[in-house]
Every structure is written in C-alpha cells, then in structure tokens.
Amino acid sequence: MTKVLILLGVVGGLASARADERFDAANADFEAGRFGAAAQAYEQLLADGPRAAVLQNLGSAYFRQEDYGRAILAFERALLLDPGNPDLEANLKLARDEAAVFPVASGDGWNRFLAKLSRQQWSVLALGCAFALPLAAGAWVVFRKRRRVGVGAAACGIPAVGLLVLSLHALDAREGEEERAIVVAAPATVRISPFATADERASLANGREVKLGRLENGYFWITMDGGGTEGWVTAGEVGRVIPRAGDPGASR
Amino acid sequence: MYWKLFACLLICLGALRAAEVTAELSTDRVEAGQGALLALKIEGGSPEAHPQIPAVKGLIVNSRGQSQQMQIVNGKVSRSISYNYAVGSHEPGEYEVPSITVRVAGQDLKTPPMKLTVVPSASGAPAGMGQDDEQAAEVEDDRYGFLTFQPVIKDRKHVYPGEIAPVRIKAYFPAGASVQLNGTPRPEGSAFTLHNLTKEPDQSSEVLNGKRYLVVTWYGGLSATKAGSYPASFSLEGTVAVRDRSAKRHRSPFDDPFFGGSMMEDFFAPMVQKDVTLTTPDPDSVEVRELPAEGRPEDFSGAIGHFEFESVQVPSSLQTGEPCRIEARVKGGGNFALLKEPHPQPAGDWKVYDGSGDFMAGDAASFSGSKVFRYNAVPLVPGEREVKLAFSYFDPEAGEYRTVESAPSKVVIAGEATVPPAAAAAKEPAVPQSEGPQLAPLATDPGKIASYEPWSDRAWFYPAISGFAALAVALAGMGVWIRREEDVEKAARLAGDAAIRRALSTADQAALAGDGAGFFTAAREALRIRVAEQSGIKPEAVTLADLRQVDDEDVVGILKEADRVDYSGTAGDAGDLHAWKESLHRGLENLTKAVRAA
C-alpha cells in the first residue's frame, strides 16, 4: 500500500513539474510576443483541468491578439475559480473597455450583495452551516445537564439556520449563471431558426454577454439585453462561461 | 423555487383559459423561388419562447414578423399572437413543414404537419423569394397607408453604436379606413434596435397633398448595433380596410354627377380589406460611426448623449476611513442605462463603493430625464477641501468625450491619511511596461487544478444539506424526548400529591360518615405515600417501622390509633374522628414540609 502511495506521489509530482515546464514555456512565448503560440499552449494546459493562473494568462494572450471575446471569456472563467482577484477584475474591465462592452449595472443592492461571493463560496457556506446544525443539536443533547453549554449550542444553531437559508437563497438567485456565455465570434450572427439558411435577425459584437437557451442542431438559442435580442447562433460563436461537457463545438 | 410558483400560476391561468396554437399556409403550392405565408397563431396565452420552425432540408424560412392582436367583443377580451413566416424553396419538390411545438404556460402545444409543393418556376429561372410579392405590395401599399420616420436629430446624419437617438414614427392611413394593427413599428434589418417605444400611440388627423389621413404616432429611441452605413427603415404590419371607389363606379345606383365625389359615393363603395406591411418609403441611410478610441476617459462607461449635474449632496464633515453617503442627480438626454455614478475627485483620495441609480424618465421615449445616484465613499486624505464629483460621457454632437464636474462642495475631513493600495503601489519604482493597455502581470505559478462546478451543482450537495438538517432535527427531537424522560421525579411527585389528595378526600368523607376504620385506613395510606416520596421507595413497600420513624406527634398518634383500630376492631366516634381529621391534616402538612426540605 505504501509503495502504491509513493508511486502515485511520484507520478503526481512529475505531472506537476511537467505542467510547470509547459506553463513557463507558454509564458516565454508570451513575453517574446508570440501570443498565438502562447494562447495555444495555455489551451493545451487547460485540457488537463482549469487553473485560474493559466486562464488569466490565456486571457492576456487573447487580449494581445485583440480577440477580446475570448479574452473576456478566459478572465470570466478565471474569476469563477478565483473570485475577487483584483488582477483578474482589472484585466476583465480592460478587455471589456477595449471591446466597447459596457455591462449595465445589474440588480439592486440585495442582488449585488448576493454576488459578493461566488457560487462555490455560497455552497461551502451552506454546507458548513448545515454541518454545524447537527453539531449544535448534538451539543444541546449531550450537555443538557449544563445549562450554559446548552444555551450556547442553541445560540450557534440559530445563526447557522439563518446563514443556511441565506446561502440557499443566494444559490437559487444565481441559478441562471450557468447559462451565461460570451460572444467569441466577430461578430456572431443571430438567426430566426437553427439552420444556416434561416433569416438573419441581428449580429452580436465580439465580447457581448448573452444568455444561452436550449441547444438544437448545433445552434444555441440566445437572449440578450433582457430579451431585447433573441435568436439562434452557432455553438462555436459563443463560449459558455461555465463550460459544460455536452456543448458541441462551443469554445471550451 | 420562484419558478415553481410561477409555473403553478401559469398552470392555473392555463386551466382558466386553454391556449390554442394553429398554423396555416396561405397556399400549399408555390413556384420555386416564391414563398407561401405561414401564419402561426397562438390564442389564449403567450409562448415562453419564440416559436421555432424545425429545419427541413432545402426549405427556406424567412421571418415576416410578429404581431399581437386584441379584440374586445361584448366585453369579452381575446388576445392572440401571430408569427408570420415566408416559406419556400429554390428546389421544386414535395416538402413537409413538420409539427411546430410552442410552449405556452408550461404546456407543449403542437401544430399538425403541413405539406408544401414547390413547382418549377414558370419563368424557368427561380426569382428571389418573395421579391415580386414585395414589389407589388410596395406599389399597392400607398393605397392602404405608409410609414414615416423622423429622427429628432435633425442636423446630424450619423450616430454612434449604443447611442439612443429619439425618433418619431408616424403611420398614415387613409381617412375612413378601418385599421387593425398587428403590433408596433420595428426596424428592418439588424443594424438598429428600437427602445422604449410608446405603448399608447397618439392618434390625430392630418391633411397631406389635399388628402386626409388618420395618423398614428409613436415615440421611441433608435439605437445602432454596429458601425457602418445602413438604411434606417421601419415596418408595421396590420390589416387595413378601405373603400374601393373604382368598384363603386360600376355598381352605384347613384351614377349621377350630382352625387359625384359625395359621401354617398363612399357609402356605396365596397370595402376592400388587406393584410399590409407598411414600410418607410426610400429610407435615408444613417452612418453609424465607431466611438473614437482617442481621448476616451478612463471612467467612460458607454454613456452617449448630453448630461449635466442637477444637484450633489456630500456631507460637510467627514472622517478618513469612515464611509459617507454621496448623492448626485444627473439630468440630460441619452442612454442613461450606461451612465455610471459620478466619483469624487481626485479619484485617488477616495475609495468608492458601488451604489444605486434610479432613473426618472422625462419623456415618453425615456430619452431625457434624470438619474439619482447614491453610493458610499471613504475619504482617504484629511483636510479642508473643495470636493467635486465628475463623470464622463460621449457627446455625439461634438463627436468627442466630455468630463463634467460638479460645483465644489466645501468639506472638512478629519483624521489621518489612509494610503490606498493603488497609491502605495504607485510609489514603488516604475516597471518598464510593454506596449498597449496595461494588463496585470502574467501569473508565474500555474496553480492547482480546480473545478468550475460549484459544490451546489454536485449530485450529493442537496442530499447532504437535507441529511444534515434531518440529523439536526432528529437530534433536537431526541433531546426534547430525553429531557422529558429524565423528569420522572417531578412526574412521580405530582402523582403522589394526587394520590394523597384522593386519600385525604376518602378520609374526610369517612370522618363525616363516622366510619372510623375507613378513616384510619385512608389516613395511613396518605401518610405512607408521603413517606415513600421521602424514602424513594414505592408506597406499598413502606412498613410500619418506617412510618414510626417519623418524628411528628400527630403522625405517630394517628399511626398508633390506626393500629389499635386494626387490632381491636373498634373505631372512635364521630367527634373523635373530627379531631383525628384535623390531626391528620396537620401531621401531613408537617410531613410534607419535612419531605420538601429533604
């Protein structure tokens, strides 16, 4: 058993060292101005699994190629993994400015408060509070003879219930986030039906954010500006911010 | 959770009035290159999404717009939404338009499949689909009315993407025509979008070239979506019924010069009804220019128009590091949605937090108005200062960016200077920067592989939450049960008190009845219960020896007398029993006090 663990550790260490080497090589390409090669190398690294740092550099590489849609997408994804990172937020703002994408301030104060934490952070908070509940109840039972401990356990349980409800509400309020997508084509053509000969309805500028609907015939149903623009775009013209395995041809 | 409530509401509404979807082809046979009109009509509900025509190889589907109709007949309101498509093909053959699924109030409604036969074009060469029809319609449309578009921007032939230009759209219909509009004007093509169109258009009467028209006027904001030069044209669909004067001349019985051109002519002329699409004739091209990159202020957020401060409220006394509430009202005209809150200057002396912005429209098209911004800001530098707020916007008339500053507000900021991280970083030696915008430095450590998928998307998440919650409820319930179980002493004490009360009652009744034996039996029982409570044993297990150990004169006396009655078989008289009863109550009271004290 110990040998297996050691072997796994060695394999893991080698893989990590290999990833470091590839990352350094990609960074060297970037520093040398070979942004296309750097972006390709970062994409290959991401095939192993998403990393915030790789996505940040990938976004920068696309930015330098003036592919602002893919840059915005990469920075958005990096922020999912590392919410609140000031470098990522600054890069995202820069990319949006360059793409002339000015997001309208969304929601009221309550929704902005709910957006302070990522969905993963709300999930952790919800699970932590849920875990604390049986602990508090157990302490109340076990230490029933000691009044102070019992009252203390109940005092911990009540805010845990409140935070649990808040977290679940936040997760529910942000239920639609997995439908967010960024236009990576320049521009994307919106059609009235999901096939190439269908009439064009509008064109979407590179970097614009859309909401994805169902997938049909290799086309996504999209809505934008709260329903002001809607129609079908090919899956390759948009990239889902939270990638989904079932998206064919979409930018991953 | 809200969508479930919404779905229930929709289902209830659907139950009240079932929705219907019908699809109809204007003809089942068209020439190649021509199109049949496919009308998809939804009555009694609204589709949850734009209906989609399934793809059919070789079949071309062009949208011909969407319309809404509302009719009030005898007080009963009926509403329908129609989606129109031109359907055809360049290839002759038999086509089937498959069943179209429309989701209304959570229910999938389907239309039956339809057959369309495309025959070879009579001219031999396929024409552009629908072009002939459209050209013919254009000639005929003037008879049924026309559409005009007048931008409020008169001196300018160009706009910018994102800019909202107020426009007035007028639909002219012949006076006396019966008009049913299927929706509102909409821009043709994808270069422009129309915002905030007035829901209740104005109606008036105008005379143009000696002809009287019924005029319907809408106000809205036109916005360009992309740079280039595009014709700004609009279309409006409706059904118009007009008098056919040419037909009258053959049929009117009043074929007399006296009645010529009179009201009677119109009266007897037959009505001709037609579904028409009014368009703006010969629309002017509008140049859409890119926003200049040069001179773009850092705080430019996409606002285009004319804006100025109306009022600013900044507290006069502040403390460094302490947030204060700032309120600014900006008035003007333009795309207020992209106007961000004005920030105090210099920006490095303040830390500003996101706030709220409430827009109040000043006109029907929501082009002009005022927006009130409220946000928190933290002063970082102390001193007496004149604080100005500033914001930037793009002036489309001048074609340049502008930064507006408010009138200075005198503010006293107490406390010590707080250095913000950005300012601290600025003091460090400058690092040579590459060309182009300043991105954050490259990350040098690839970090660990993470997951986009939050725990809440994992299958185990909600069962785990539910499991923990259920466990907590179970533990709490168990705690309540244990606490009740553990309070058996109190329960036993209450039961003992009740038994003593019953024994005393029996003794009192026996005393009144002169039943000495009964009295002493009940009295000994009451004393035995109380002693058992003190000893922690069952009353039946209490022996005479235990009772005699009680150091109370009344109790001992009663026990002795009870023994005597038992052994001698004689009982005292009623007078004696009354005295014994008082002695029993007194002794029991003393015994209870002793037990409680113990």
Measured between CA atoms, the residue of chain B closest to residue A113 is B354
Residue A187 preceded by cis peptide, ω within 30: yes
**For B478, which of A20, A141, A216 is closest by C-beta distance?**
A141
Beta strands at B60-73 and B76-88: parallel, antiparallel or unpaired = antiparallel
Q: For chain A, which residues score pLDDT lower than 70?
A: 1-17, 102-108, 225-228, 248-252
In this prediction, residue A91 carries a pLDDT of 92
Residue B239: pLDDT over 70: yes
Please name every residue paired with B383 in a beta bridge, in sequence order, or none if there are none: B413
The residue written with tokens 């503010």 in the block is: B411
- Per-residue tokens: B299: 């705080």
A45/B449 Cβ within 8 A: no
User: Looking at CA atoms only, how far is residue B421 from chain A in angstroms?
Assistant: 11
Nearest-angstrom CA–CA distance, B291 and B338: 14
CA distance B493 to B507: 21
Sequential DSSP letters for B85-107:
EEEE-SS-EEEEEPPPEEEETTE
pLDDT band at B137 (very low <50, low <70, confident <90, very high): very low
Instruction: Return the higher-pLDDT residue of B525 and B284.
Output: B525
For B446, the closest of A51, A133, A199 (CB atoms) is A51
Residue entry with tokens 């051109």? B261
Tell me if A133 and B472 make a contact (CB, 8 A cut-off): yes
What's phi and psi for A88, nearest 5 deg? Answer: -65, -40
* Structural domains of chain B sorted by starting position, each given as residue range(s) with its CATH number in brackets: 9-125 (2.60.40), 132-288 (no CATH), 305-424 (2.60.120.570), 488-597 (1.20.120)
Identify the bridge partners of residue B66 per DSSP, sorted by sequence position: B83
Residue B141 clears pLDDT 50, i.e. is over it: no
Angle between helices B574-597 and B553-568 (to 10 degrees): 130
Pick the CATH number of A2-98 from 3.20.20.70, 2.40.50.140, 1.25.40.10, 1.10.443.10: 1.25.40.10
- Confidence at residue B384, expressed as pLDDT on a 0 to 100 scale: 85
Question: For residues B267 and A14, what is the distance between their CA atoms, to the nearest angstrom?
Answer: 94
pLDDT at position B193 is: 78
For chain A, the domains span 2-98, 116-173, 178-240
* Local confidence band at B254 (pLDDT 50, 70, 90 cut-offs): very low
Is A127 close to B446, i.e. CB distance below 8 A?
Answer: no
Q: Mind telling me how many Å the CA of A215 is from chain B's nearest CA?
A: 12
Note whether B162 contacts A100, CB cutoff 8 Å: yes
Q: Does B371 score more than 90 pLDDT?
A: no
Percent of chain B predicted with pLDDT > 90: 4
| pLDDT value for B64 | 63
Q: What is the pLDDT of residues B393-405, one digit of tens each?
A: 998 888 889 888 8
Cβ within 8 Å, pair A133-B443: no
- Residue A54: its chain B contacts at CB < 8 A? 443, 446-447
CB-CB neighbors (< 8 A) of A202 in chain B: 190, 193, 225
Q: What is the pLDDT of residues B442-455, one digit of tens each?
A: 998 888 888 888 88
Instruction: Give CA torsion, residues B205, B206, B207, B212, to 10 deg.
Output: -30
Q: Hey, what are B459's tokens?
A: 């299958």
pLDDT (0 to 100) of residue B196: 75
Place of tokens 């039961």: B495
CB contacts, 8 Å: B190 with chain A:
190, 200-203
The partner residues of A102 in beta bridges, in order of sequence, read none
CB contact under 8 A, A137 and B479: yes
Question: Which pLDDT does position B456 carry in this prediction?
Answer: 86
CA A32 to chain centre: 29
Best CA proximity match to B423, nearest among B347, B323, B352: B347
Residue B127 has pLDDT above 80, yes or no: no
Where helices occur in A32-67 by DSSP H, the ranges are 35-46, 52-64
Q: Across residues B225-252, what is the average pLDDT?
A: 67
Task: Please say whether the dihedral angle defined by the alpha carbons of residues B54, B59, B64 and B70, taken in this order, is positive or negative.
Answer: negative
Which pLDDT score, from 0 to 100, does residue A133 have?
A: 92
- Position A54 scores a pLDDT of 95
Least confident of A83-87, B182-186, B382-386, B479-483: B182-186
C-beta separation of A69 from A95 below 8 A: no
Orientation of helix B574-597 relative to helix B516-535, angle to 10°: 0
- Which residues of A fall within a CB distance of 8 Å from B471? 133-134, 137
Asked whether the beta carbons of B257 and B285 are under 8 A apart, the reply is: no
Report the C-alpha gap between B389 and B409 in whole angstroms. 9
Per DSSP bridges, beta strands B343-345 and B356-361 are unpaired
CB contacts, 8 Å: B356 with chain A: 108-109
pLDDT at residue A120, rounded to an integer: 84
Q: How far apart are the first and last CA of chain B?
A: 60
CATH number of this structure's domain A178-240:
2.30.30.40
Q: What Rg do the C-alpha atoms of chain A give, in angstroms?
A: 23
Q: What residues of B are in contact with residue A91 (Cβ under 8 Å)? A: 439-440
**What was the pLDDT predicted at A93?**
86
Do residues A31 and A39 touch, judged by C-beta distance below 8 A? no
| Exposure string for A13-49, b = 16+ CB within 10 A, e = fewer | eeeeeebeebbeebbebbeeebbebbbebbbebbeee
Q: For B163-200, what is each residue's pLDDT tens digit?
A: 887 888 888 888 777 777 777 887 877 677 777 777 77
pLDDT digits (tens, 9 = 90+) for B309-363: 988 888 888 878 777 888 888 998 888 878 888 888 887 788 877 767 777 877 7
CA distance B127 to B102: 32
pLDDT number for residue A65 = 92
CA distance B73 to B93: 43
User: A114 Cβ partners below 8 Å, 6+ apart?
Assistant: A169, A170, A173, A174
Q: How much is the pLDDT for A40?
A: 94
- β-partners of residue B152 are none
- Asked casually if ipTM beats, i.e. exceeds, 0.90, the reply is no
Of B162, B457, B482, the CB nearest to A144: B482
How many CB atoms neighbour CB B426 within 10 A?
11
Higher pLDDT, B332 or B415: B332
> In the structure encoding, which two tokens stand for residue A156, read together?
């911990």
Q: Are A195 and A57 in contact (CB under 8 A)?
A: no
pLDDT of residue B472: 92
SS3 assignment, position B260 = coil
pLDDT single digits (tens) B552-575 = 788 888 888 887 877 776 665 545
Place of tokens 């773009």: B296
| Backbone CA torsion sign across B128, B130, B136, B141 | negative
Query: What one-character DSSP code corresponds to residue A91?
Result: H
How much is the mean pLDDT over chain B?
75
Return the DSSP state at B304: B
Residue pairs spanning A and B at CB distance below 8 A: 190
Looking at residue B289, its pLDDT comes to 82
DSSP string for B340-407? PPPEEESGGGEEE---EEEEEESSTTS-EEEEEEEEEEEE-S-EEEEEEEEEEEEETTTTEEEEEEPP
Which amino acid would we find at residue B353?
Y
Q: Is the pLDDT of residue B51 over 70?
A: yes
Contact A130 B193 (CB under 8 A): no
B447 and A57: CB-CB below 8 Å?
A: no
**How far apart are alpha carbons A77 and A73 in whole angstroms?**
6
Per-residue DSSP letter, B440: P
Write down the pLDDT at residue B74: 55
CB atoms within 10 A of CB B548: 13
Weakest-pLDDT range from A197-206, A241-250, B415-424, B472-481:
B415-424
Structure tokens at B105: 């109030």
Closest-CA residue to B78 (of B87, B86, B91, B69): B69
How far apart CA B385 and CA B393 sit, in angstroms, is 26
